Structure 1
Amino acid sequence: MELQHFCHPEHPLIFNEKRTYDRDCHGCDQPILGPNYICIQCDHFCHHKSCAELPLELHHPLHPKHPLILFPTWKYYDNEDFEKCEVCKTNQGEYAYRCSHCNFNIHITCASLAPTMEAEVHEHPLTPFWKWITFTCDLYGKGGEGMPYQCNPCGFGIHRECASFLHRVKVVRHKHPLDLIQSFEVHQLDSPFCQLCVQNVDTNYGLYYCYKCDFVAHLHCAMDRRNIEYINLSELKDDENEDLELDQFVHLATYKVKKTTVGEDGIEIATEIEHFSHKHDLKYTYEILNNEKCNGCVQAILPPFYSCAECNFFLHKSCVDLPRKKRHPLHQHPLTLFPKPPYRRKWFNCDACSEICNGFTYTCENCDFKLDVQCYLMLDSLTHESHKHRLILSGTGYHQSCSGCGSKRLLVFKCITCEFALDFNCITLPHTTRYKQHEHPFTLSYIAEDNSGEYYCDICEEERDPNHWFYYCSDCNYPTHPKCILGKYPKYKFESVYTIFYHPHPLTFVEEPKDHPPCDTCEDLCEEYIYQCVQCNFNVHCFCI
């Protein structure tokens, strides 16, 4: 079956009943997942069947005096006279019906609104009120302008998008399903707060609630794609819901024990193991090493640990015991442990702290979601010695300020009592660290060390913000910025060895080359972060490789 479409007169569109395309419809700008029309010759002009067969003329109750003509709005983005849709008040890339006499426009999706709607949030059908008015949504509690959906018997009125809220949802960060309730009195909590964004909730309007745990969540927080785990739980029984535990995991073995011994406390210790992340066997040792990092969490290696006698490879005992697969409160799918990112690149950006890391990664292969080991170990509720109150993981659609460094982040651990908050970067900072050849350790400090009014970093000699955290050697009265002492990439292990297909020898990743050699690819000087082959004096920038 063919169709000659008014927006594509060059070629006919061919009907496909079942075939789907990994692209969006030219009509409504939504993914094509069912019957469709496509131009075979152009192989890009695609429509849902319903969008391709839209009538070219429409009579609509919002504009009864003139008929509306179908227009492709993407052809009129630069036309200032082409107004926004009268229903959603946006100018999107979808077709619209238009009256050119009155400059009236309505998107095809807005024009096709049903005369009544069955919604889970209300027991009666809801009818669109075809007039732009100022009102307060009875479910969401927000005021503003719009065209509400209303229930004539009850006087109940809500935003059109609020009708999509479900009666029951399951979020990643709670083990029980949450029920939508439209108003209630909290008996056990004096000032309830949403445990997903750590903001107060108004109990006079709708929210999601777990009766067993007094777990409260805003409607939009629970339905956020980053938080929601299961969409439709209305048919599940309560005893079945108990099995949907957040902390279910598959603990696959990450190592084989080769040799064991019995410690002084009578507990058996694995002294030699074969770990899935390394080609050589690892041995248990109490040796003290300076300026070495664990290949798993990329933190300073401290005894006891496992090491390779042939390579510069070390693992904390805790990193050896990491589970191979586990759920995490930041993601709706189980995460799998990889010794390196599951692709050719030698490093990855952590989705919690945004730092570059080349240690182990917990990855969701379906979503390309990645966490480094330090961020993976953070729970959704914890205490930190820098603050007296408990901190809860807060994920919002806007940036929040970290009390440790002043950075603005979407993810922070927030105090429900005061305005204190910490991002993943600060909450994973090591409590103590060392710096090159300095004889004493540095301790992470949360307040200014004196009242002199002069705050400088003794490494870079630049001024410090007295409200931000710093590292301090009390023996030498030596304060430093965290970045100055930990480096630009604190979660990167340098001196690691890599191989690339176009060079015959292993390359070492070096933070600061001594003589700044020219890059063998772009010929610019290599000042920092390069791959280097000592055997043949081969050097290449990390971004050139």
Structure 2
Amino acid sequence: MDYEGGFHEVETDGKILLVYHHPKYRPIPQIKNTSSPDEAANQDHPPLPLFLCPVARGRKDYHSTTGNFVFTSSPEYVISTTRVDNRDHHHVLPLFWCNNEKFGKDDGCLICNLNFGTDYYFCGNCDTNFHKECVEAPLKIKHPYYPRHSLELCWHDGSDFDHCSCCGRRMGGLIYHCTVYQTYMHPICAMKSIPVIIDQQKIHVHPLTFFPRQNSLICNVCGLIEIKYATYVCLRCNFVAHIDCMYSPHTIKISRHHHRISYVSSLRYGKCHCGVCRQSIDGDYGAYTCNKCGDYYAVHSRCALGKDVWDGEELEGIPEKDDDITQDAPPFWEISKGVIHYFLHDHHHLRLEENILYDENKLCQACVMPVFEEEIYSCTECDFILHETCLKAGRRIQHALHPHLLILKAINNGSGEFQCYACRRSCGGFVYQCPTEECKFMLDVRCASISEPFDYQGHEHPLFLSLDPEKLVRCEVCKYSRRKLLSCIKCDFIVCIECATLPYKTRYKNDKHFLTLSWRGGEERCENWCEECEDVVGRNLFYWCNDCCTILHTACLFSNDPYMKPGQCFEIKGKEVKILAKSNTSRPTCYHCRKPCQGKIFTTDNCTACSRTCAFFIILLSNS
């Protein structure tokens, strides 16, 4: 029989806490007024049973084709009298006094993927640690946040981007799930003690009391009804706050505004629109406003604290840094008329060239796009070329997709590639990189050029990065569901960053006119046959000449990997891959997909591939 876990009230150092207990593993203590909640939870326990390793328990209960399933077995290890496979039946050996130690930065509990917490068990078979909470996790818990429903122990494969309603971290592995409210908790979060009364003077002058029935209560701090979060109330003032809202910072710097913003309990000028999501803000509730712009710039409390918006640093009482990127040194300086010195090509000077004829193999070193009929700067001693717009890109930028300043760098031929955070493409040109080591955030120069409001030639209204970056939404252009999108606040138009950064107009070697990016059908204009591959285009994204009826797949015009640079090398699983320019005389066959290489050619292990993806599979199969 597996008992249900629950919570009981304990007084510790004059503070009342709701402490997790289990009838068998953590019985309700008989002694009150203990020195700590952990001591209260662990007094007068009978000897604990041996526990089954969570990995073996998960393997035992696995019964799903989707990767997600509900646990059905007890956490206890049952000694078998018959011979069994030790792989599936091994108990967890407890480590004594390990509550004085912590998980290392790169270590953590194998079953829930979290590296915080101090009480854990060690499994000799797996040679790894598990949280005490994960090992002893019962099949169900009655949690104070959801008193009318039980949380079920489940396995979450992490594919749905769900987040813990306690710590906010992404879910994956062993979790507790409420099917009614569709909320999730890590076991260590689900068993965490809950304070009954919280005194947080920054948010409210009176102590706030835990109130489990939060379904219809609007938080005064964020202005939302969030049944996923614990709610605290002040009956004297009719004040309500979510537990995480009570600890909101007072002064912060966000990626969407050039000044600091500070929390206010209400807006002086009533309703206005959020500078992040672009939706209206109710002035009766809390928000963040600019100290210099006043209430004319405001942001929802929840929007301001998003991970792509705020860097997590509280700035109250910290002097403002003089870090004005407009005062940075320019990326180039003029030597003489038409001759410049560029900071990422300091061994040669660059010269201005005008009225350049289109050449599909003549690429800008920054954006890796062809040059045509526009001013460029080129090096006479090597193949270094820059569009004038790319040349003027700043050394540092503040981008809406990241809270830290980004620094412009060139990718070395040895490394050869990086993945852009916004469009998720592999790139080989210049990169805007976050100097904070743990961020590893990178943007290519095309995505870095996106600012708000964004003027997209394919739409009549300005676009904004106003959608939830974690939510999948369908792009109106390519028809795929993406996570980083630009949206119109006047109509329903949405375009992903990958499509928005494609050239709206471009040239083709066999057409004297400009080709325009199109996505609205095509059958009514001409036959939908691609000029290059002679395959059907259908209603997919393509480039179109209105005068000649020339039509091409975007991949046929720019290759499957348009932002990878010919001549560069990179590694996949320890094997070197070299990128060659598109051949105008032959179309070698891809070793993997057996199709002709229409664009750039990737070579590895004496094999030819039409894309980075095919090169990856060639190497994967050769290593197997």
**Structure 1-normalised TM-score?**
0.70
Amino acid at match of 2:194: L
Q: Distance in 2 between matches of 1:32 and 1:316?
A: 48
The residue matched to 1:163 in structure 2 has which SS? helix
Q: Distance in 1 between matches of 2:253 and 2:410?
A: 31
Change beyond 3 A, Cα 1:457–1:489: farther
Change beyond 3 A, Cα 1:277–1:74: farther
Q: Distance in 2 between matches of 1:402 and 1:408?
A: 6
1:94 aligned residue (187, 194, 210): 187
Counterpart for residue 78 of structure 2? none
Structure 2 residue 448 is matched with structure 1 residue 367: no
Counterpart for residue 339 of structure 1? 410
Cα pair 1:250 1:324 within 8 Å, conserved: no
2:336 aligned residue (261, 266, 270): 261
Counterpart for residue 301 of structure 1? 371
Structure 2 residue 199 is matched with structure 1 residue 118: yes
The residue matched to 1:306 in structure 2 has which SS? strand
Counterpart for residue 266 of structure 1? none
Cα pair 1:353 1:425 within 8 Å, conserved: yes
Change beyond 3 A, Cα 1:89–1:19: same
Amino acid at match of 2:325: Q
Amino acid at match of 1:443: T
**Match runs of 1:73-152 below 5 Å:** 92-94=185-187, 107-109=190-192, 112-119=193-200, 120-129=202-211, 131-132=212-213, 134-139=215-220, 140-143=222-225, 145=227, 148-152=231-235
Change beyond 3 A, Cα 1:14–1:278: farther
1:297 Cα offset (Å): 0.9
Change beyond 3 A, Cα 1:308–1:497: farther
The residue matched to 2:432 in structure 1 has which SS? strand
1:353 aligned residue (423, 428, 447): 423
1:222 Cα offset (Å): 0.8
Amino acid at match of 1:380: E
The residue matched to 1:228 in structure 2 has which SS? coil
Q: Relative to structure 2, which stretch is displaced further, 395-404 or 430-439?
A: 395-404
Q: Relative to structure 2, which stretch is displaced further, 398-407 or 20-29?
A: 20-29
Q: Distance in 2 between matches of 1:407 and 1:76?
A: 25
Counterpart for residue 170 of structure 1? 253
Cα pair 2:473 2:481 within 8 Å, conserved: yes
Structure 2 residue 274 is matched with structure 1 residue 194: yes
1:488-532, Cα deviation, whole Å (9 max, x unpaired): 333334x435488999x995425579464675xx8x857436434
1:378 Cα offset (Å): 1.8
Cα pair 1:254 1:323 within 8 Å, conserved: yes
**Structure 2-normalised TM-score?**
0.63
Change beyond 3 A, Cα 1:178–1:252: closer
Q: Distance in 2 between matches of 1:428 and 1:366?
A: 27
Structure 2 residue 504 is matched with structure 1 residue 427: no
Change beyond 3 A, Cα 1:470–1:525: closer
**Match runs of 1:437-516 below 5 Å:** 437-444=510-517, 453=524, 457-459=528-530, 462=536, 465=539, 471-480=543-552, 482-493=554-565, 495-498=566-569, 507-510=578-581, 514=586, 516=588
1:288 aligned residue (353, 357, 374): 357
1:26 Cα offset (Å): 8.1
For structure 1, the 5+ residue unaligned runs are 55-59, 64-71, 97-106, 264-268
**Match runs of 1:40-51 below 5 Å:** 44-45=128-129
Q: Distance in 1 between matches of 2:573 and 2:475?
A: 44
1:217-238, Cα deviation, whole Å (9 max, x unpaired): 22221111110135323324xx
Q: Distance in 2 between matches of 1:411 and 1:435?
A: 29
2:283 aligned residue (192, 203, 206): 203
1:322-378, Cα deviation, whole Å (9 max, x unpaired): 434333222122222232279x65323321122332211112253121111111122
Q: Distance in 2 between matches of 1:76 and 1:211?
A: 43
Counterpart for residue 234 of structure 1? 316
1:181-228, Cα deviation, whole Å (9 max, x unpaired): 3443536xxx63222122333334333223643122222211111101
The residue matched to 1:319 in structure 2 has which SS? helix
Cα pair 1:530 1:539 within 8 Å, conserved: yes
Cα pair 2:517 2:541 within 8 Å, conserved: yes
The residue matched to 1:208 in structure 2 has which SS? strand
Q: Distance in 1 between matches of 2:144 and 2:550?
A: 71
For structure 2, the 5+ residue unaligned runs are 1-41, 52-90, 137-141, 146-151, 158-174, 620-624
Q: What is the aligned-residue RMSD (CA, Å)? A: 4.9
Change beyond 3 A, Cα 1:288–1:436: closer
Q: Distance in 1 between matches of 2:342 and 2:176?
A: 67
1:392 Cα offset (Å): 2.6
Counterpart for residue 325 of structure 2? 248
Q: Distance in 2 between matches of 1:532 and 1:491?
A: 17
Q: Distance in 2 between matches of 1:381 and 1:45?
A: 49
Structure 2 residue 486 is matched with structure 1 residue 413: yes
Q: Distance in 2 between matches of 1:497 and 1:32?
A: 41
